[in-house]
Protein backbone atom coordinates (compact mmCIF):
# COMPACT_ATOMS: atom_id res chain seq x y z
CA UNK A 1 0.00 0.00 0.00
CA UNK A 2 3.00 2.34 0.35
CA UNK A 3 3.78 2.36 -3.35
CA UNK A 4 3.52 5.86 -4.78
CA UNK A 5 1.53 6.16 -8.02
CA UNK A 6 2.12 9.48 -9.83
CA UNK A 7 -1.16 11.25 -10.49
CA UNK A 8 -2.84 8.51 -8.41
CA UNK A 9 -3.49 6.70 -11.70
CA UNK A 10 -5.76 3.74 -11.06
CA UNK A 11 -5.95 4.41 -7.30
CA UNK A 12 -9.57 4.44 -6.06
CA UNK A 13 -10.19 7.54 -3.95
CA UNK A 14 -13.75 6.73 -2.93
CA UNK A 15 -16.73 4.42 -3.41
CA UNK A 16 -19.39 6.05 -5.53
CA UNK A 17 -22.58 5.12 -7.34
CA UNK A 18 -22.96 8.40 -9.24
CA UNK A 19 -21.30 7.69 -12.59
CA UNK A 20 -19.14 5.11 -14.34
CA UNK A 21 -16.78 4.95 -17.30
CA UNK A 22 -15.77 2.04 -19.51
CA UNK A 23 -12.72 3.55 -21.14
CA UNK A 24 -12.16 0.73 -23.64
CA UNK A 25 -15.72 0.70 -24.92
CA UNK A 26 -16.23 4.46 -24.65
CA UNK A 27 -19.21 4.24 -22.30
CA UNK A 28 -20.14 6.91 -19.78
CA UNK A 29 -23.22 6.47 -17.58
CA UNK A 30 -24.81 8.66 -14.93
CA UNK A 31 -26.56 6.58 -12.25
CA UNK A 32 -26.62 3.69 -14.74
CA UNK A 33 -28.08 5.68 -17.66
CA UNK A 34 -25.81 5.92 -20.74
CA UNK A 35 -24.93 9.48 -21.60
CA UNK A 36 -26.33 9.09 -25.14
CA UNK A 37 -29.77 8.29 -23.68
CA UNK A 38 -29.69 11.31 -21.37
CA UNK A 39 -28.46 13.58 -24.16
CA UNK A 40 -31.34 12.47 -26.35
CA UNK A 41 -34.16 12.36 -23.82
CA UNK A 42 -33.32 14.25 -20.66
CA UNK A 43 -32.87 17.90 -19.75
CA UNK A 44 -30.15 19.49 -17.65
CA UNK A 45 -32.64 20.04 -14.82
CA UNK A 46 -33.69 16.39 -14.82
CA UNK A 47 -30.09 15.17 -15.14
CA UNK A 48 -28.97 17.38 -12.25
CA UNK A 49 -31.70 15.91 -10.06
CA UNK A 50 -30.81 12.39 -11.20
CA UNK A 51 -27.22 13.03 -10.15
CA UNK A 52 -28.17 14.60 -6.84
CA UNK A 53 -30.85 12.12 -5.78
CA UNK A 54 -29.87 8.94 -7.57
CA UNK A 55 -33.12 8.31 -9.46
CA UNK A 56 -34.99 9.78 -12.38
CA UNK A 57 -37.40 12.17 -10.65
CA UNK A 58 -41.16 11.86 -10.68
CA UNK A 59 -43.05 14.56 -12.55
CA UNK A 60 -43.89 16.33 -9.26
CA UNK A 61 -40.32 16.20 -7.94
CA UNK A 62 -38.92 17.54 -11.19
CA UNK A 63 -41.50 20.31 -11.29
CA UNK A 64 -40.65 21.37 -7.74
CA UNK A 65 -36.92 21.32 -8.50
CA UNK A 66 -37.43 23.27 -11.71
CA UNK A 67 -39.52 25.88 -9.87
CA UNK A 68 -36.89 26.17 -7.12
CA UNK A 69 -34.18 26.63 -9.73
CA UNK A 70 -36.18 29.36 -11.48
CA UNK A 71 -36.84 31.08 -8.14
CA UNK A 72 -33.14 31.02 -7.27
CA UNK A 73 -31.72 32.69 -10.38
CA UNK A 74 -31.36 36.16 -8.91
CA UNK A 75 -28.22 36.87 -6.94
CA UNK A 76 -28.22 39.32 -4.05
CA UNK A 77 -27.31 42.90 -4.89
CA UNK A 78 -24.22 42.67 -2.67
CA UNK A 79 -22.87 39.88 -4.86
CA UNK A 80 -23.59 41.94 -7.97
CA UNK A 81 -21.80 44.93 -6.47
CA UNK A 82 -18.81 42.78 -5.58
CA UNK A 83 -18.68 41.51 -9.16
CA UNK A 84 -18.53 45.09 -10.41
CA UNK A 85 -15.39 45.67 -8.32
CA UNK A 86 -13.47 42.76 -9.86
CA UNK A 87 -10.79 43.50 -12.49
CA UNK A 88 -12.58 43.36 -15.83
CA UNK A 89 -9.57 41.69 -17.46
CA UNK A 90 -9.66 38.78 -15.04
CA UNK A 91 -10.42 35.29 -16.25
CA UNK A 92 -14.08 34.26 -15.79
CA UNK A 93 -13.01 31.18 -13.84
CA UNK A 94 -11.22 33.41 -11.31
CA UNK A 95 -14.35 35.52 -11.05
CA UNK A 96 -16.47 32.40 -10.56
CA UNK A 97 -14.17 30.92 -7.94
CA UNK A 98 -14.05 34.21 -6.00
CA UNK A 99 -17.77 34.85 -6.20
CA UNK A 100 -18.60 31.29 -5.19
CA UNK A 101 -16.56 31.79 -2.02
CA UNK A 102 -18.32 35.15 -1.50
CA UNK A 103 -21.73 33.50 -1.83
CA UNK A 104 -20.75 31.38 1.16
CA UNK A 105 -20.35 34.57 3.21
CA UNK A 106 -23.74 35.88 2.19
CA UNK A 107 -26.07 32.90 2.36
CA UNK A 108 -27.37 31.94 5.76
CA UNK A 109 -26.96 28.40 6.94
CA UNK A 110 -23.87 27.83 4.85
CA UNK A 111 -21.52 27.82 7.81
CA UNK A 112 -20.38 24.25 8.27
CA UNK A 113 -17.40 25.50 10.24
CA UNK A 114 -19.33 25.21 13.46
CA UNK A 115 -18.94 21.47 13.45
CA UNK A 116 -20.67 20.72 10.17
CA UNK A 117 -24.08 20.86 11.83
CA UNK A 118 -25.94 21.48 8.59
CA UNK A 119 -24.12 18.83 6.65
CA UNK A 120 -26.35 16.06 8.02
CA UNK A 121 -29.45 17.96 6.99
CA UNK A 122 -30.63 16.68 3.60
CA UNK A 123 -32.90 19.69 3.14
CA UNK A 124 -29.94 21.99 3.64
CA UNK A 125 -27.89 19.95 1.16
CA UNK A 126 -30.72 20.02 -1.40
CA UNK A 127 -31.54 23.72 -1.03
CA UNK A 128 -27.89 24.71 -1.14
CA UNK A 129 -27.42 22.61 -4.28
CA UNK A 130 -30.32 24.40 -5.98
CA UNK A 131 -28.95 27.82 -5.02
CA UNK A 132 -25.45 26.99 -6.22
CA UNK A 133 -26.52 25.46 -9.56
CA UNK A 134 -28.93 28.31 -10.34
CA UNK A 135 -26.52 31.04 -9.21
CA UNK A 136 -23.56 29.67 -11.16
CA UNK A 137 -25.30 30.12 -14.50
CA UNK A 138 -26.47 33.58 -13.48
CA UNK A 139 -22.98 34.68 -12.47
CA UNK A 140 -21.35 33.37 -15.66
CA UNK A 141 -23.86 35.30 -17.79
CA UNK A 142 -23.72 38.43 -15.59
CA UNK A 143 -19.96 38.58 -15.85
CA UNK A 144 -20.09 38.84 -19.64
CA UNK A 145 -21.94 42.17 -19.30
CA UNK A 146 -20.24 43.48 -16.17
CA UNK A 147 -16.73 42.96 -17.54
CA UNK A 148 -17.71 44.87 -20.67
CA UNK A 149 -19.04 47.78 -18.61
CA UNK A 150 -22.74 47.04 -18.92
CA UNK A 151 -25.46 46.23 -16.43
CA UNK A 152 -26.23 42.53 -16.24
CA UNK A 153 -29.48 41.25 -17.74
CA UNK A 154 -32.11 40.14 -15.24
CA UNK A 155 -32.98 36.44 -15.21
CA UNK A 156 -36.42 35.30 -16.36
CA UNK A 157 -38.56 32.70 -14.63
CA UNK A 158 -40.44 31.69 -17.80
CA UNK A 159 -37.41 30.03 -19.39
CA UNK A 160 -35.60 26.73 -18.87
CA UNK A 161 -32.12 26.73 -17.34
CA UNK A 162 -30.39 26.66 -20.73
CA UNK A 163 -32.76 29.18 -22.31
CA UNK A 164 -32.41 31.57 -19.40
CA UNK A 165 -28.63 31.29 -19.54
CA UNK A 166 -28.60 32.22 -23.25
CA UNK A 167 -31.06 35.04 -22.57
CA UNK A 168 -28.89 36.45 -19.78
CA UNK A 169 -25.71 35.99 -21.82
CA UNK A 170 -26.91 37.57 -25.05
CA UNK A 171 -29.97 39.65 -24.15
CA UNK A 172 -31.73 38.08 -27.15
CA UNK A 173 -34.83 35.93 -27.07
CA UNK A 174 -33.33 32.43 -26.98
CA UNK A 175 -33.67 30.30 -30.09
CA UNK A 176 -35.30 27.05 -28.89
CA UNK A 177 -33.17 24.82 -31.13
CA UNK A 178 -29.90 26.39 -30.03
CA UNK A 179 -31.04 26.39 -26.40
CA UNK A 180 -31.66 22.65 -26.68
CA UNK A 181 -28.12 22.21 -28.01
CA UNK A 182 -26.87 24.18 -25.01
CA UNK A 183 -29.04 22.03 -22.75
CA UNK A 184 -27.41 18.87 -24.15
CA UNK A 185 -23.95 20.40 -23.67
CA UNK A 186 -24.82 20.98 -20.03
CA UNK A 187 -25.98 17.35 -19.67
CA UNK A 188 -22.75 16.08 -21.25
CA UNK A 189 -20.52 18.07 -18.90
CA UNK A 190 -22.48 17.48 -15.71
CA UNK A 191 -20.52 14.56 -14.27
CA UNK A 192 -17.45 12.42 -14.92
CA UNK A 193 -16.44 10.21 -11.95
CA UNK A 194 -13.44 11.14 -9.82
CA UNK A 195 -11.48 13.53 -11.97
CA UNK A 196 -9.18 16.24 -10.57
CA UNK A 197 -11.89 18.80 -9.77
CA UNK A 198 -14.29 16.26 -8.29
CA UNK A 199 -11.48 14.92 -6.16
CA UNK A 200 -10.78 18.48 -4.97
CA UNK A 201 -14.47 18.77 -4.06
CA UNK A 202 -14.32 15.51 -2.11
CA UNK A 203 -11.21 16.60 -0.21
CA UNK A 204 -12.67 20.02 0.68
CA UNK A 205 -16.05 18.45 1.48
CA UNK A 206 -14.43 15.88 3.76
CA UNK A 207 -13.25 18.68 6.07
CA UNK A 208 -16.91 19.85 6.40
CA UNK A 209 -15.97 23.16 4.80
CA UNK A 210 -18.99 25.20 3.74
CA UNK A 211 -20.44 24.04 0.41
CA UNK A 212 -19.65 27.28 -1.39
CA UNK A 213 -15.98 26.88 -0.49
CA UNK A 214 -16.20 23.24 -1.52
CA UNK A 215 -17.47 24.25 -4.97
CA UNK A 216 -14.90 27.07 -5.18
CA UNK A 217 -12.23 24.35 -4.78
CA UNK A 218 -13.77 22.49 -7.69
CA UNK A 219 -13.82 25.60 -9.87
CA UNK A 220 -10.17 26.36 -9.08
CA UNK A 221 -9.12 22.84 -9.98
CA UNK A 222 -11.19 22.73 -13.15
CA UNK A 223 -9.66 25.95 -14.45
CA UNK A 224 -6.31 24.48 -15.55
CA UNK A 225 -5.69 23.70 -19.24
CA UNK A 226 -5.04 20.04 -18.44
CA UNK A 227 -8.65 19.85 -17.20
CA UNK A 228 -11.61 22.18 -17.92
CA UNK A 229 -9.47 24.96 -19.35
CA UNK A 230 -8.68 22.76 -22.36
CA UNK A 231 -11.78 23.83 -24.34
CA UNK A 232 -10.47 27.40 -24.46
CA UNK A 233 -7.00 26.13 -25.38
CA UNK A 234 -8.51 24.06 -28.22
CA UNK A 235 -10.06 27.10 -29.86
CA UNK A 236 -6.83 29.10 -29.50
CA UNK A 237 -5.02 26.19 -31.17
CA UNK A 238 -7.53 25.94 -34.04
CA UNK A 239 -7.37 29.68 -34.62
CA UNK A 240 -3.57 29.52 -34.67
CA UNK A 241 -3.70 26.71 -37.27
CA UNK A 242 -6.08 28.84 -39.33
CA UNK A 243 -7.01 26.54 -42.22
CA UNK A 244 -7.56 22.76 -42.58
CA UNK A 245 -4.57 22.30 -44.93
CA UNK A 246 -2.19 23.46 -42.17
CA UNK A 247 -3.45 20.96 -39.57
CA UNK A 248 -1.11 18.03 -40.27
CA UNK A 249 2.05 20.15 -40.28
CA UNK A 250 0.98 21.85 -37.05
CA UNK A 251 0.37 18.50 -35.30
CA UNK A 252 3.75 17.20 -36.50
CA UNK A 253 5.51 20.31 -35.18
CA UNK A 254 3.74 20.09 -31.81
CA UNK A 255 4.54 16.41 -31.38
CA UNK A 256 8.16 16.95 -32.41
CA UNK A 257 8.40 19.66 -29.74
CA UNK A 258 6.82 17.19 -27.27
CA UNK A 259 3.84 19.47 -26.79
CA UNK A 260 0.28 18.36 -26.07
CA UNK A 261 -2.52 18.60 -28.61
CA UNK A 262 -5.33 20.33 -26.70
CA UNK A 263 -8.59 18.44 -26.49
CA UNK A 264 -6.88 15.09 -27.03
CA UNK A 265 -6.14 12.28 -24.58
CA UNK A 266 -7.81 11.14 -21.42
CA UNK A 267 -6.66 9.13 -18.43
CA UNK A 268 -9.81 7.00 -18.56
CA UNK A 269 -10.53 6.57 -22.28
CA UNK A 270 -8.54 4.57 -24.82
CA UNK A 271 -11.08 5.41 -27.53
CA UNK A 272 -12.83 8.58 -28.62
CA UNK A 273 -14.60 10.15 -25.64
CA UNK A 274 -18.35 9.38 -26.04
CA UNK A 275 -19.11 13.01 -25.21
CA UNK A 276 -16.87 14.13 -28.10
CA UNK A 277 -18.87 11.85 -30.42
CA UNK A 278 -22.13 13.54 -29.37
CA UNK A 279 -20.64 17.03 -29.47
CA UNK A 280 -19.31 16.45 -32.99
CA UNK A 281 -22.81 15.35 -34.01
CA UNK A 282 -24.29 18.45 -32.35
CA UNK A 283 -21.78 20.60 -34.19
CA UNK A 284 -23.05 19.15 -37.49
CA UNK A 285 -26.66 19.72 -36.47
CA UNK A 286 -25.82 23.28 -35.50
CA UNK A 287 -24.10 23.86 -38.86
CA UNK A 288 -27.11 22.40 -40.71
CA UNK A 289 -29.46 24.62 -38.72
CA UNK A 290 -27.38 27.69 -39.39
CA UNK A 291 -26.96 26.73 -43.03
CA UNK A 292 -23.18 26.97 -43.01
CA UNK A 293 -20.23 25.11 -41.55
CA UNK A 294 -18.03 27.42 -39.52
CA UNK A 295 -14.31 27.60 -40.38
CA UNK A 296 -13.26 26.35 -36.94
CA UNK A 297 -15.23 23.13 -37.40
CA UNK A 298 -13.44 22.40 -40.66
CA UNK A 299 -10.05 22.99 -39.03
CA UNK A 300 -11.14 20.81 -36.08
CA UNK A 301 -12.03 17.95 -38.42
CA UNK A 302 -8.63 18.18 -40.09
CA UNK A 303 -6.89 18.26 -36.69
CA UNK A 304 -8.85 15.24 -35.51
CA UNK A 305 -7.82 13.29 -38.61
CA UNK A 306 -4.15 14.27 -38.39
CA UNK A 307 -3.86 13.80 -34.63
CA UNK A 308 -5.72 10.49 -34.63
CA UNK A 309 -3.45 9.13 -37.37
CA UNK A 310 -0.42 10.01 -35.26
CA UNK A 311 -1.69 9.36 -31.70
CA UNK A 312 -4.52 6.83 -32.08
CA UNK A 313 -2.15 3.88 -31.61
CA UNK A 314 -1.40 5.26 -28.13
CA UNK A 315 -5.11 5.42 -27.34
CA UNK A 316 -5.18 9.21 -27.66
CA UNK A 317 -8.37 10.52 -29.24
CA UNK A 318 -10.54 13.66 -28.95
CA UNK A 319 -11.92 14.28 -25.48
CA UNK A 320 -14.96 16.32 -24.38
CA UNK A 321 -13.10 19.61 -24.73
CA UNK A 322 -12.26 19.19 -28.40
CA UNK A 323 -15.65 19.88 -29.94
CA UNK A 324 -17.31 21.76 -27.07
CA UNK A 325 -15.03 24.75 -27.60
CA UNK A 326 -15.74 24.74 -31.35
CA UNK A 327 -19.47 24.57 -30.77
CA UNK A 328 -19.49 27.35 -28.17
CA UNK A 329 -17.36 29.53 -30.44
CA UNK A 330 -19.76 28.97 -33.33
CA UNK A 331 -22.54 30.03 -30.94
CA UNK A 332 -20.67 33.32 -30.52
CA UNK A 333 -19.54 32.75 -26.92
CA UNK A 334 -16.21 34.26 -25.84
CA UNK A 335 -13.50 31.54 -25.58
CA UNK A 336 -12.47 32.45 -22.04
CA UNK A 337 -16.04 31.71 -20.95
CA UNK A 338 -15.87 28.07 -22.12
CA UNK A 339 -14.36 26.74 -18.88
CA UNK A 340 -17.08 28.60 -16.94
CA UNK A 341 -19.74 26.88 -19.03
CA UNK A 342 -18.07 23.60 -18.13
CA UNK A 343 -18.13 24.59 -14.44
CA UNK A 344 -21.78 25.69 -14.41
CA UNK A 345 -22.68 22.24 -15.68
CA UNK A 346 -20.16 20.14 -13.71
CA UNK A 347 -21.39 21.75 -10.52
CA UNK A 348 -24.29 19.27 -10.57
CA UNK A 349 -21.86 16.35 -10.38
CA UNK A 350 -19.69 18.08 -7.78
CA UNK A 351 -22.70 18.60 -5.55
CA UNK A 352 -23.79 14.99 -5.98
CA UNK A 353 -20.31 13.87 -4.88
CA UNK A 354 -20.33 16.35 -2.00
CA UNK A 355 -23.64 14.88 -0.82
CA UNK A 356 -22.33 11.34 -1.22
CA UNK A 357 -19.14 12.22 0.66
CA UNK A 358 -21.11 13.68 3.58
CA UNK A 359 -23.04 10.42 3.83
CA UNK A 360 -19.85 8.36 4.20
CA UNK A 361 -17.47 10.98 5.45
CA UNK A 362 -13.98 10.46 6.67
CA UNK A 363 -11.49 13.28 6.24
CA UNK A 364 -8.99 12.74 3.43
CA UNK A 365 -5.53 12.45 4.86
CA UNK A 366 -3.28 10.51 2.48
CA UNK A 367 0.34 9.84 3.16
CA UNK A 368 3.50 10.59 1.19
CA UNK A 369 6.84 9.08 0.37
CA UNK A 370 9.36 11.38 2.01
CA UNK A 371 12.38 11.95 -0.21
CA UNK A 372 14.18 14.63 1.83
CA UNK A 373 17.09 14.47 4.23
CA UNK A 374 16.90 13.54 7.94
CA UNK A 375 18.65 14.42 11.18
CA UNK A 376 20.35 17.53 9.86
CA UNK A 377 22.30 19.78 12.17
CA UNK A 378 21.05 23.36 12.57
CA UNK A 379 23.87 25.70 11.47
CA UNK A 380 23.64 29.16 13.09
CA UNK A 381 23.10 31.99 10.59
CA UNK A 382 26.53 33.58 11.23
CA UNK A 383 28.26 30.35 10.21
CA UNK A 384 26.38 29.91 6.94
CA UNK A 385 28.55 32.29 4.91
Tell me which residue has its CB nearest to ligand COA: 265
CB of residue 192 to ligand COA, shortest distance in Å: 8
DSSP secondary structure, 113-130, as one string: GGTSGGGG-HHHHHHHHH
DSSP three-state, residue 101: helix
Candidate list 66, 266, 273, 353, residue with the active-site label: 266
By CB under 6 A, is residue 230 in contact with ligand COA?
yes
Candidate list 66, 183, 273, 321, residue with the active-site label: 321
Question: Which residue's CB is nearer to ligand COA, number 7 or number 372?
Answer: 7
By CB under 6 A, is residue 263 in contact with ligand COA?
yes
Give 27's strand partners.
22
By CB under 6 A, is residue 11 in contact with ligand COA?
no
By CB under 6 A, is residue 218 in contact with ligand COA?
no
CB of residue 299 to ligand COA, shortest distance in Å: 16
Q: What are phi and psi of 19, to 5 degrees?
A: -150, 165
CB of residue 257 to ligand COA, shortest distance in Å: 11
Rule CB under 6 A: choose which of 264, 286, 317, 323 binds ligand COA.
264
CB of residue 16 to ligand COA, shortest distance in Å: 19
DSSP three-state, residue 287: helix
CB of residue 160 to ligand COA, shortest distance in Å: 26
Question: Which residue's CB is nearer to ligand COA, number 7 or number 291?
Answer: 7
CB of residue 226 to ligand COA, shortest distance in Å: 4
CA distance 296 to 365: 45
Q: For the segment 286-345, give every residue that binds ligand COA (CB under 6 A).
A: 311, 314, 316, 319-321
CA distance 87 to 192: 32
- Quick one: angle between helices 44-53 and 161-170, nearest 10? 120
CA distance 111 to 104: 8
Q: Of 241, 200, 244, give the one whose Cα is nearest residue 219.
A: 200
Question: Which residue's CB is nearer to ligand COA, number 157 or number 253?
Answer: 253
Does 321 qualify as catalytic in the annotation? yes
By CB under 6 A, is residue 226 in contact with ligand COA?
yes
Alpha helices in the chain (DSSP H): 35-41, 44-53, 59-71, 77-85, 92-106, 122-146, 161-170, 176-188, 196-206, 211-222, 230-241, 247-256, 274-290, 295-311, 320-330, 338-359
By CB under 6 A, is residue 112 in contact with ligand COA?
no
Rule CB under 6 A: choose which of 205, 244, 265, 349 binds ligand COA.
265
CB-CB contact of 70 with 163 (8 Å): no
Residues in touch with ligand COA (CB under 6 A)? 7, 226-227, 230, 260-267, 311, 314, 316, 319-321
Catalytic residue IDs: 266, 321
Amino acid sequence: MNEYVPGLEGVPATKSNISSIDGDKGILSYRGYPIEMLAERSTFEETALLLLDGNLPTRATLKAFDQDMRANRRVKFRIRELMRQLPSTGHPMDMLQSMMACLGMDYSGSDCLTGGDHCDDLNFVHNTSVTIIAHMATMVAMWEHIRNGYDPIEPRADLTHAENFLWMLTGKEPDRYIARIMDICLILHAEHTINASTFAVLVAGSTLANPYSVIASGIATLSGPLHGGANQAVVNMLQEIGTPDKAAAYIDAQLLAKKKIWGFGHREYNVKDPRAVILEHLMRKFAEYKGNVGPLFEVAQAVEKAATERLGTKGIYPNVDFYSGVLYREMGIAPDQFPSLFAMSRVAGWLAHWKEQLGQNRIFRPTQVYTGEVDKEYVPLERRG
